[in-house]
Amino acid sequence: MDLTSLPARKIRALLAKGEIRGADLLDALEVRIAAVDPVVNALPTLCFERARERMAGLEARPDAERGLLGGLPVAIKDMTDVAGVRSTRGSPIFADHIPAASGHLVQRVEGQGGVVYAKSNTPEFAAGAATFNEVFGATRNPWNTALSPAGSSGGSAAALASGMAWLASGSDIGGSLRNPASFCGVVGMRPAPGRVPNGPAANPYATLSVDGPMARDVDDLALLFDALCGHDPREPLSLDSPATPFAEAAARRTKPRRIAWSRDLGVTPVDPEVAAICEAAARQFEAMGVPVEEAQPDLSDAHLVFQTLRAHDFATGLGPLLETNRADIKPELIWNIEKGLALTSAEIGRAERARAAMVAGAATFFDTYDLLLCPATIVPPFPIEDRYVARCEGTEFETYIDWLAIVFAITNISHPALSLPCGFTASGLPVGLQMVGKARGEAALLSAAGLLEDALALNHLPIDPKVA
């Protein structure tokens, strides 16, 4: 039995029945990583000795006491500390950092019986949607190793697609769970702020950046999401878990009442092939009897809001490092921090008022529509040498994050959103559909995503890397 090709929920069931042991899973991962990661470079830091110790401790208990994950291995994005494991944040400043304590997300994963065995690659401080850094180099897309897996959770997405992970964590501020999911043909979800613990943080009241789950399909993602969710008294925005588990809600496959489709959210150019693939997937709901109408909320201030508030967050979190370690920080990040440090109170106030108006408009919009569908990325995977997308359909982008407007427009309104694999380009590259739910509406979003996933029938993972 090829364990790495099975769904995570099937692995969990086999563990519960005692038909496989945790050591079998770790053995299978070690073999797969040795065969694949020299080409992909998704999991540069491994901690199998630590994983085996923790797995042994779990297996000493009855299954009912092993938590929701019950021994499932989980890869952790290298933005979250894991106690005793090299945790670099993709930065030369932290190249040799070995923390004494784990981040809140890892504590939650391990408290639910997850076993951390690897850290996944990320761009420096998760800044930018291309996964490369000066510590570990670039991660490559398993669908074509000459191309980028996007970012910033590119290591997690590439590991999932290539059979080096069943479940993985990621984070998202400007689409960092959704972009790599789209480029690698996996599922990545940005939940509502407060759903998943993401501390300790420099600003625990910030809502642009969240942590969330990644998996190969919707049901596996819902399983991990349930394990990640729950109130954390150390985080002031933290939400309680719902009475009905997200995995149960996802399994119901409930049809939405009415859906909105938008090619570009009114904020960005989009590659025509990508738009056509996404619209064809969105129209699948019409065959189920669900009306799909062209509509979108007013997100026209998306660039102003995101550029301002993101820069403010970067200045808050990374400003002190710029003072002490400027030579070790990449130029795009220096620009972003300095932009934040130069902001005036008037500029921040203007952005906050514009964001409030967008949130109010979105609430009214979602009184009519259950879902908003659009592309998750505006282009197919791009060459590994490119640091970011500089142009699309004749539009030249001014900054390294302008090409991400189709995802950061949704970040601004704090609605949950996921990228679902929805088709392939003529050259065989995956494309993701962004599915946006009502505020804190992850349960209905997952249910509808599972319904569309079944209709599209694109379950093809994991793959062997296609070496360019």
Angle at which helix 442-456 crosses helix 218-228, to 10 degrees, equals 160
Instruction: Report how many domains make up the chain.
Output: 2
Q: How many CB atoms lie within 10 A of CB 447?
A: 23
Is there a catalytic annotation at residue 238? no
Is 262 found in the same domain as 198? Answer: yes
* pLDDT tier at 109, thresholds 50, 70, 90: very high
Residue where a domain stops, chosen among 341, 360, 391: 341
Is 258 found in the same domain as 146? Answer: yes
Is 328 found in the same domain as 244? Answer: no
What residues contact residue 62 under an 8 Å CB cut-off, 6+ apart?
Answer: none
- Which of the following is catalytic: 91, 102, 152, 171? 152
- Which of the following is catalytic: 91, 176, 182, 262? 176
- In this prediction the pTM is 0.98
Local structure of 104: helix, strand or coil: helix
Which residues is 259 bridged to in the sheet? 292, 371
173 and 151 Cβ atoms separated by less than 8 Å:
no
pLDDT of 182 higher than 80? yes
Is 315 found in the same domain as 225? Answer: no
* pLDDT tier at 460, thresholds 50, 70, 90: confident
Is there a catalytic annotation at residue 466? no
Rounded Cα gap, residues 374 and 339, in angstroms: 30
Would 466 be classed as within a structural domain? no
Is there a catalytic annotation at residue 152? yes
Nearest to 337 by CA among 132, 125, 88: 125
Averaged pLDDT score across all residues of the chain: 98
Across 362-366, average pLDDT = 98
pLDDT at 80: 98
Rounded Cα gap, residues 403 and 388, in angstroms: 8
Is 451 found in the same domain as 325? Answer: no
* pLDDT tier at 1, thresholds 50, 70, 90: confident
Would 403 be classed as within a structural domain? yes
Would 468 be classed as within a structural domain? no
What residues contact residue 8 under an 8 Å CB cut-off, 6+ apart?
Answer: 72, 166, 167, 215, 216, 220, 223, 224
358 and 413 Cβ atoms separated by less than 8 Å:
yes
116 and 50 Cβ atoms separated by less than 8 Å:
yes
pLDDT (tens digit, 9 = 90+) per residue, 438-449?
A: 999 999 999 999
Is 191 found in the same domain as 331? Answer: no
Q: How far is CA 435 from CA 147, 229, 246, in A?
A: 25, 20, 16
Q: Which domain holds residue 242?
A: 3-302+345-456
Would 103 be classed as within a structural domain? yes
pLDDT at 6: 97
* pLDDT tier at 114, thresholds 50, 70, 90: very high
